[in-house]
């Protein structure tokens, strides 16, 4: 699987593009091109063809222009990827005033992140330990922190909680993305695959040798009609994480000085 890394472009140029402080245009620039149009075309390439297909040349082909025309607006692929990441994080505008309690707010954030990965599966192939510091990503971070602001956590705990939720979604959504990709490429849904394999598994699986796998696996397979249910696993895991945060919040409420 292709892995790209954010933050590999020139810092000054990436930040100028992210914040649009200096859109690179000149007399040689095409009036029908802009950073936004190039970025949108790049996202479409990654969405439809995968991250491995992304290149300045492929984006130019999609736009129907020469590759060199893009460099008037975007210095290179590294900077382009940073702006792509920032752009997709701005697709769901943060709520002006997050509604509900902190648990409801965190759940809503997790589901928004889940949906973003499903819309743009290539996000799973981008390592973001050095995130692009663009306006949409920072606005999203601000929004997520507001979900847990004022509930008794320290600043570092607030950061840790939103990082924990984001990391859980990143790991949990992979199985959902892989299931969707497998169905698209094989023409067989997870349910159809299970129905084709389950009868043979029942014959081959010896409950005397694998008593727990036979018992639990049979119960799960009958319930899911598939080898796994990514949506149900996501719901279960998210609830357990929020339970843990609730325990932390309760501890902080009972002993306010503990987090200082």
Distance between CA atoms of residues 214 and 220, nearest Å: 10
pLDDT at 193: 93
Domain 102-191+229-259 fold: Tetracycline Repressor; domain 2 (1.10.357)
Distance between CA atoms of residues 53 and 35, nearest Å: 20
How large is the greatest C-alpha to C-alpha distance in the chain, in angstroms? 77
pLDDT at 27: 47
DSSP letter, residue 5: E
Q: What is the residue-level pLDDT of the chain in tens, covering all 260 positions?
A: 568 999 999 999 999 999 998 655 444 567 789 999 999 999 999 999 999 999 999 999 999 999 999 999 999 999 999 999 999 999 988 776 667 899 999 999 999 999 999 999 999 999 999 999 999 999 999 999 999 999 999 999 999 999 999 999 999 999 999 999 999 999 999 999 999 998 998 888 899 999 999 999 999 999 999 999 999 999 999 999 999 999 999 998 776 555 54
pLDDT at 257: 59
- Rounded to 5°, angle at Cα 250 from 246 and 254: 175
pLDDT at 22: 67
Q: Which CATH number fits domain 4-88: 3.50.50.60, 2.150.10.10, 3.40.50.300, 1.10.10.60?
A: 1.10.10.60
pLDDT at 143: 95
pLDDT at 94: 76
DSSP letter, residue 51: G
pLDDT at 60: 97
pLDDT at 79: 96
Going from the C-alpha of 53 to that of each of 25, 62, 65, 109, the distances in angstroms are: 26, 12, 17, 30
Going from the C-alpha of 170 to that of each of 110, 117, 130, the distances in angstroms are: 10, 8, 16
pLDDT at 28: 59
pLDDT at 32: 80
Q: For residue 112, which of 88, 133, 130 has the smallest C-alpha distance? A: 88
Could you tell me the residue ranges of all domains in the chain?
A: 4-88, 102-191+229-259
pLDDT at 46: 98
Check if the beta carbon of residue 152 is closer than 8 Å to that of residue 249.
yes
Equal CATH topology for 4-88 and 102-191+229-259: no
């Amino acid at each position: 699987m292709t892995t790209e890394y954010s933050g590999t472009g020139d810092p000054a140029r990436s930040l100028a593009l992210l914040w649009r402080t200096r859109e690179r245009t000149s007399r040689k620039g095409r009036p029908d091109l802009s950073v936004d149009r190039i970025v949108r075309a790049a996202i479409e390439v990654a969405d439809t063809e995968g991250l491995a297909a992304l290149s300045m040349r492929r984006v130019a082909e999609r736009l129907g222009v020469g590759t060199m025309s893009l460099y008037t607006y975007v210095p290179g692929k590294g900077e382009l990827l940073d702006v792509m990441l920032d752009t997709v994080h701005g697709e769901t505008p943060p709520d002006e005033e997050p509604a509900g309690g902190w648990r409801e707010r965190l759940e809503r954030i997790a589901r928004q992140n889940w949906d973003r990965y499903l819309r743009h599966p290539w996000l799973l192939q981008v390592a973001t330990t050095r995130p692009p510091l663009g306006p949409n990503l920072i606005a999203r971070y601000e929004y997520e922190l507001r979900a847990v602001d004022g509930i008794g956590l320290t600043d570092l705990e607030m950061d840790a909680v939103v990082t924990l939720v984001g990391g859980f979604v990143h790991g949990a959504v992979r199985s959902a993305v892989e299931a969707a990709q497998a169905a698209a490429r094989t023409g067989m849904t997870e349910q159809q695959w299970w129905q084709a394999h389950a009868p043979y598994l029942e014959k081959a699986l010896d409950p005397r040798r694998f008593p727990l796998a036979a018992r639990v696996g049979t119960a799960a397979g009958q319930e899911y009609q598939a080898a796994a249910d990514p949506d149900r696993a996501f719901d279960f895991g998210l609830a357990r994480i929020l339970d843990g945060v609730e325990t932390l919040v309760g501890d902080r409420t009972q002993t306010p000085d503990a987090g200082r």
